[in-house]
Amino acid sequence: MSAEFNAAAEKVKNLKAKPTDQELLDIYALFKQASVGDNNTSRPGTFSLDLKGKAKWDAWEKLKGMSKSEAETQYVNKINQLVEQYGLN
């Protein structure tokens, strides 16, 4: 992980307002793709009540095939956009 990526990961913790659920899913998926790579876990079961877990899994799965470096770049760009939108504490 680059210093820029790590700095962005810290910035997101200090936003003045909470991002939307979709923005949170986007940054979660980009973070996972940049740090782990393609999703290699099983999707939470059909009858599981873990709707949040399913949404996170689906968001990450959509990035399958994206390189770690591309995900890192997109993550940093997304965090910078959120900082401009919400500001920092």
Measured distance between the N- and C-terminal CA atoms of the chain, rounded to whole angstroms: 25
CATH of the domain at 20: 1.20.80.10
CB 54 within 8 A of CB 43: yes
Q: pLDDT tens for residues 35-59?
A: 999 999 998 877 778 889 999 999 9
pTM: 0.92
Q: For 56-71, write each residue's pLDDT tens digit.
A: 999 999 999 999 999 9
Contact 80, 10 (CB under 8 A): no
Domain holding 81, by residue range, is: 3-86
Q: How many domains does the chain have?
A: 1
Rg of the chain, C-alpha, whole Å: 14
